[in-house]
Amino acid sequence: GNSVTQMEGPVTLSEEAFLTINCTYTATGYPSLFWYVQYPGEGLQLLLKATKADDKGSNKGFEATYRKETTSFHLEKGSVQVSDSAVYFCALTWDAGGTSYGKLTFGQGTILTVHP
Amino acid sequence: EAGVAQSPRYKIIEKRQSVAFWCNPISGHATLYWYQQILGQGPKLLIQFQNNGVVDDSQLPKDRFSAERLKGVDSTLKIQPAKLEDSAVYLCASSSIRGLAAKNIQYFGAGTRLSVL
């Protein structure tokens, strides 16, 4: 079945450091890929997405490129801030047919802590 | 635009008791999802509704969990009787069926944190 594997965390960085969180997936067909972020005490928020190979999703300085050849969707940011401290989830979904997309399959999440 | 509303935010019960969670999706969203998020793990889908019909409940422990979405709007998830391993955050999400770009984005509520003692 479909699955998502994220790099093991937690990740601790100093402010302005470069961030990479690795994500690889296993899926049949052509899934859509997502990064969701969960700030303390809040629900999951969509950070960025890509729906086909070589698409680059970007938002708030974060980027991820849909790499079909390596089945990866790594999250990157050039300069992290303390406010980026959160849990990051990589996820995929695929067209279940009809007018509805299927369920999101999530990775286990990566805790990011950024120190001043 | 109001987001996905969930209540209560927190619930503490003893094992073998029953509990119910409520979700109100974004107005006009036909698809509603319930996820279970155990501490340290990613969310796992329990059940998916399209309007008031069930699309996928393959991961729902039907001996103790039930869910309904009357009139295709609000939804209730119930656990009866609860077990210790049901301690988790229960997340509700909704998505639109209109527009290719919109229909694969799910919007999440803040969740209900359940502790079973």
First to last CA, chain A: 41
Nearest CA-CA distance, residue A42 and chain B, Å: 5
| Sole residue written with tokens 């995929």 | A92
Contact between chains at A32 and B104 (C-beta distance less than 8 A) = yes
Which residues make Cβ contacts (< 8 Å) with residue B11, sequence separation at least 6? B19, B21, B112, B113, B114, B115
Q: Tell me, yes or no, if B45 comes closer than 8 A to chain A by beta carbon.
A: yes
Q: What is the pLDDT along chain B (117 residues), one digit of tens a residue?
A: 679 999 999 999 999 999 999 999 999 888 899 999 999 889 999 999 988 899 889 899 999 999 999 888 999 999 999 999 999 999 999 988 665 555 568 899 999 999 999
What percent of chain A is modeled with pLDDT above 70?
Answer: 93
Q: How far apart are CA B65 and CA B45, in angstroms?
A: 13
Segment A53-79 shows an average pLDDT of 95
Q: Calculate what percentage of chain A has a pLDDT beyond 90.
A: 74
What one-letter code names the amino acid at A14? S
- Residue scoring higher pLDDT (A9 or B82): B82
Across the interface, whether the CB atoms of A45 and B105 are under 8 A apart is answered: no
Confidence at A9, pLDDT banded by 50, 70, 90: confident
pLDDT band at A2 (very low <50, low <70, confident <90, very high): confident
A50 touches chain B (CB under 8 A): no
CB distance B87 to B15 below 8 Å: no
- Inform me whether the C-beta atom of residue A71 falls under 8 Å from chain B C-beta atoms: no
Contacts of B55 (CB under 8 A, 6+ apart): A96, A100, B31, B48, B49
CB contact under 8 A, B55 and A106: no
Q: For residue range A22-42, what is the model confidence (pLDDT) as tens digits?
A: 999 998 777 889 999 999 888
